[in-house]
């Protein structure tokens, strides 16, 4: 009886569909992790095959990220051919490399053959050239050629993201021939929603949705019902630009063509969703100056990725300190200035970061361009004036009451207005100028915006104090 209860408990933690492995907050349940850890330690292959190998690729990826490094390696070894290599597309790059570097190339090659081409490329692209060639050499000729061609496209391009499995027919076929081909051909993609029409040289002529095929009589020729493909994606196009095309035209899939307009693959919405998520995370990390850092990175790698922009921040901090040094006599005369300085600089920095974040995102999505830039600049200037007057009044009133000096309150209120306007303009103009210069604004905007708001705040506050209170 206890064995039955124990088995029931296991199933409740790792339900038939795998979804029960998660707790209410979205994390993998600790008791399931404990059972998996115990199974790995006991080399219980039967349990691992029954309750781990059958997990969805995304769930297995979450599990790999949740267990210890030595447990990952042991789990992969114990599962052997039952390990779903697709799960490696769901984990951090560091974890993916850690696992594949321990796997024999023969095992990777055997697993690669069962993957969609885009998933196979995603795993192969991180390997050394020698390992890539050794793995590709073990694949069938056609599959080897397709993967090698995809790997030749630039990193983060549509060609790297595309699936090379697609359905294409000539324009002179009838609907009946096409349907018979779809029923009889064994080497078709597992799922697809469009059929592409090509000429003998594989040049893309048009596309037909499956529902159109099903609603048309068998004797009708394909060329009479195909529609023009209005948005084919060049294989060398950046994946972020391709994602923007999907977003703009509400696409579910799109043909990928080479420089001669020949069909080489198809980009699907599931891949584009991954691209959008990756690009958003990348922009967020770059705004904070942490580069391509992953949660699984080592202390050494994490520290190395953060040092460069921290060094730049250090230089700008010294510049701000030198500005304060110019007003040393004023600060010695009025000690209250030293207490109030961080308020002006801090409020300006926060205001600049708000504008900068909106601007960088608008540039990334191409919502901000030369045609509407001046209108947005005017808007941000207006926001800076309103917020400056609002917070300047509040801070000036508090400072005047605190130190019993109305003039000091008026000085900090005026400095607050000046710095809030400068912050709005810097947060807007610096990303635009960096983008125009061909530099990624997400990487370097924050440092310059912070430096400008700090120095403007100190100069305006201390300068006005010198002119107003000491003369």
pLDDT at 9 over 70: no
In this prediction the pTM is 0.66
If asked whether residues 152 and 172 sit together in one domain, one would say no
If asked whether residues 82 and 143 sit together in one domain, one would say yes
- 46-90 confidence digits (pLDDT tens): 999 999 999 999 999 999 989 988 999 999 999 988 999 989 988
Span of 216-220, 296-300, 302-306 with lowest mean pLDDT: 296-300
Is residue 410 one of the residues assigned to a domain?
Answer: yes
If asked whether residues 395 and 426 sit together in one domain, one would say yes
If asked whether residues 210 and 332 sit together in one domain, one would say no
- Strand 204-209 to strand 233-234: parallel, antiparallel, or no bridges (unpaired)? unpaired
Is residue 161 one of the residues assigned to a domain?
Answer: no
If asked whether residues 145 and 246 sit together in one domain, one would say no
Q: What is the CATH number of the domain that holds 408?
A: 1.10.357.20
- 91-122 confidence digits (pLDDT tens): 888 888 889 888 888 888 888 888 888 889 98
- 331-368 confidence digits (pLDDT tens): 888 888 888 888 888 898 889 888 888 888 788 777 78
If asked whether residues 264 and 376 sit together in one domain, one would say no
The two structure tokens encoding residue 31: 């008791």
- The confidence score (pLDDT) of residue 5 equals 39
Domain enclosing residue 193, as ranges: 168-268
If asked whether residues 314 and 380 sit together in one domain, one would say yes
R_g of the chain computed on alpha carbons: 30
If asked whether residues 215 and 86 sit together in one domain, one would say no
Domain boundary, last residue among 134, 156, 178: 156
What is the Cα–Cα distance from 191 to 220, expressed in whole angstroms? Answer: 24
If asked whether residues 188 and 129 sit together in one domain, one would say no
Q: How many CB atoms lie within 10 A of CB 372?
A: 12
If asked whether residues 148 and 182 sit together in one domain, one would say no
Q: What is the CATH number of the domain that holds 235?
A: 3.10.580.10
Is residue 77 one of the residues assigned to a domain?
Answer: yes
If asked whether residues 101 and 232 sit together in one domain, one would say no
Q: Which whole number is the average pLDDT over 223-235?
A: 89
Q: Which whole number is the average pLDDT over 243-251?
A: 87
Beta-bridge partner residues of 256 = 233, 265
Is residue 281 one of the residues assigned to a domain?
Answer: no
Q: Domains in the chain: how many in total? A: 3
What is the Cα–Cα distance from 121 to 128, expressed in whole angstroms? Answer: 13
Region of residue 3 (left: phi > 0; alpha: psi -120 to 50; beta: else): alpha
**DSSP 8-state symbol, 275:** H
């Amino acid at each position: 009886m206890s064995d039955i209860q124990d088995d029931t408990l296991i199933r409740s933690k790792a339900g038939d569909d795998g979804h029960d492995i998660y707790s209410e907050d979205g994390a993998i349940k600790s008791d399931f992790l404990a059972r998996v850890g115990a199974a790995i330690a006991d080399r219980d292959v039967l349990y691992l095959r029954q309750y781990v190998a059958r997990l969805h690729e995304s769930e297995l990826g979450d599990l790999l990220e949740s267990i210890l490094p030595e447990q990952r390696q042991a789990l992969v070894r114990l599962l052997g051919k039952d390990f779903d290599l697709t799960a490696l597309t769901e984990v951090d790059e560091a974890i993916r490399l850690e696992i594949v570097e321990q796997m024999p190339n023969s095992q990777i090659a055997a697993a690669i053959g069962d993957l969609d081409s885009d998933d196979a490329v995603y795993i192969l692209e991180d390997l050394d050239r020698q390992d890539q060639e050794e793995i590709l050499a073990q694949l069938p000729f056609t599959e080897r050629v397709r993967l090698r061609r995809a790997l030749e496209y630039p990193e983060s391009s549509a060609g790297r993201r595309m699936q090379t499995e697609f359905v294409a027919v000539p324009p002179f076929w009838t609907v009946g021939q096409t349907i018979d081909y779809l029923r009889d051909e064994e080497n078709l993609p597992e799922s697809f929603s469009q059929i592409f029409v090509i000429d003998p040289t594989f040049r893309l002529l048009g596309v037909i949705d499956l529902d159109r095929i099903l609603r048309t009589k068998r004797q009708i020729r394909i060329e009479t019902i195909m529609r023009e493909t209005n948005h084919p994606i060049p294989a060398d196009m950046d994946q972020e630009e391709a994602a923007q095309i999907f977003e703009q035209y509400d696409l579910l899939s799109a043909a990928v063509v080479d420089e001669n307009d020949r069909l080489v693959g198809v980009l699907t919405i599931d891949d584009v969703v991954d691209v959008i998520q990756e690009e958003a995370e990348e922009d967020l990390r770059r705004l904070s100056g942490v580069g391509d850092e992953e949660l699984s990175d080592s202390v050494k790698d994490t520290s190395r990725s953060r040092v460069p922009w921290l060094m730049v921040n250090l230089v700008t901090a010294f510049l701000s300190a030198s500005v304060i040094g110019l007003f040393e006599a004023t600060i010695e005369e009025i000690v209250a200035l030293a207490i109030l300085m961080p308020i002006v600089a801090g409020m300006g920095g926060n205001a600049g970061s708000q504008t900068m974040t909106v601007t960088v995102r608008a540039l990334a999505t191409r919502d901000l361009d030369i045609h509407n830039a001046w209108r947005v600049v005017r808007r941000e200037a207006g926001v800076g004036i309103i917020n400056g007057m609002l917070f300047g009044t509040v801070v000036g009133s508090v400072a005047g009451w605190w130190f019993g000096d109305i003039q000091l309150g008026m000085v900090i209120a005026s400095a607050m207005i000046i710095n809030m306007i400068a912050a709005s303009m810097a947060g807007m103009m610096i990303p635009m100028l960096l983008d125009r210069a061909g530099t990624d604004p997400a990487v370097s905007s924050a440092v310059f915006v912070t430096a400008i708001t700090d120095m403007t705040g100190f100069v305006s506050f201390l300068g006005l104090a010198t002119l107003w209170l000491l003369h």
